[in-house]
């Protein structure tokens, strides 16, 4: 297949160019379908143009819509970060405690004592503070 070093280097260069072209094509398709300023007909025409005349269409797309690609990409990243932060807040926020009174606090303290997390003196302290609370202050 490769009869000398030049043909191997040429094949490597061709492979690199093909891979770069393919990556650019995916970036353009991603930007095209992420774009909110184009309607369905515009996206369809750009897609057909990219399928039938890929190199020319890619260059035309980069010239015509290249400035907005970065803005749309950054806006997409900001939106994804906001959704992730909202999800983390939703998951990390404890559910409203169904406070059943001192009995639930003492039971929780007893579980900690049984697990060895707290000492007997700390358990007694938690128990006495739970018993001192009245329903009005809980």
pLDDT digits (tens, 9 = 90+) for 50-97: 999 999 999 999 999 888 888 888 988 999 999 999 999 888 876 655
What is the average per-residue pLDDT within 96-120? Answer: 80
Q: What is the pLDDT of residue 72?
A: 87
Percent of residues, the chain, with pLDDT higher than 70? 88
- Rounded CA separation 57/25 (Å): 10
Residue whose structure tokens are 């061709």: 14
Q: What is the pLDDT of residue 102?
A: 82
0.85 exceeded by pTM: no
Token pair listed for 104: 């639930």
Q: What is the pLDDT of residue 9?
A: 85
* DSSP per position, 4-38: SHHHHHHHHHHHHHHHHHHHHHHHHHHHHHH-SSS
């Amino acid at each position: 297949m490769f009869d000398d070093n030049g043909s191997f280097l040429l094949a490597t260069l061709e492979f690199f160019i093909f891979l770069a072209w393919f990556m650019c094509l995916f970036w353009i398709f991603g930007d095209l379908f992420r774009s909110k300023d184009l309607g369905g007909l515009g996206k369809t025409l750009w897609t057909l143009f990219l399928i039938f005349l890929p190199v020319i269409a890619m260059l035309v797309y980069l010239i015509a819509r290249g400035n907005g690609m970065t803005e749309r990409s950054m806006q997409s990243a900001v939106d994804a970060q906001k959704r992730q932060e909202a999800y983390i807040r939703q998951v990390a926020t404890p559910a409203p405690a169904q406070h059943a009174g001192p009995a639930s606090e003492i039971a929780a303290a007893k579980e900690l004592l049984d697990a060895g997390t707290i000492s007997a003196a700390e358990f007694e302290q938690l128990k006495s503070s739970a018993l001192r609370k009245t329903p009005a202050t809980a």
